[in-house]
Amino acid sequence: TQLLEQSPQFLSIQEGENLTVYCNSSSVFSSLQWYRQEPGEGPVLLVTVVTGGEVKKLKRLTFQFGDARKDSSLHITAAQPGDTGLYLCAGPRGGGTSYGKLTFGQGTILTVHP
């Protein structure tokens, strides 16, 4: 079974600070995804990284896929209260390419204080 471990589990910071969330596995993934989930809602896809070493930017969010495709990171620059939420990494189960069957990490709860 492929497992994804996220760290830290909880992150509480002040507005304007930078932060990094990590997603690690002992298994190779064909791709990894990052989602953000707010209370009372389902996860919303932020990005998909496919190529080892790939870096993608989404405004103040920077996503990186490890060269060996076993890990990924999410970096947020100058965090804002609107960034508060549960951040989840996920990858296709069993090394498959279908995104419909995902293995999720346990999530990182981010709280950004004004």
Partner 1 sequence: ETGVTQSPTHLIKTRGQQVTLRCSSQSGHNTVSWYQQALGQGPQFIFQYYREEENGRGNFPPRFSGLQFPNYSSELNVNALELDDSALYLCASSLGLALAYEQYFGPGTRLTVT
Q: Could you say whether residue 31 binds partner 1 (CB under 8 A)?
A: yes
**Cβ contacts of 34 within 8 Å, gap of 6 or more:** 23, 45, 46, 47, 63, 72, 74, 87, 88, 89, 90
For the chain, the maximum distance between any two Cα atoms, rounded to a whole number of angstroms, is: 41
Q: How far is the CB of 95 from partner 1 (least distance, A)?
A: 13
Interface with partner 1 in residues 32-71 (CB under 8 A): 40-45, 48
Identify the three-state secondary structure at position 104.
strand
In angstroms, the CA 26 to CA 39 distance is 30
Of residues 13 and 46, the one with the C-beta less far from partner 1: 46
Structure tokens at 107: 């999530």
Q: Could you say whether residue 25 binds partner 1 (CB under 8 A)?
A: no
Of residues 5 and 75, the one with the C-beta less far from partner 1: 5
Q: Could you say whether residue 99 binds partner 1 (CB under 8 A)?
A: yes
Q: How far is the CB of 91 from partner 1 (least distance, A)?
A: 11
Residues engaged in binding partner 1 (CB under 8 A)? 4, 6, 31, 40-45, 48, 88, 90, 93, 97-107, 109
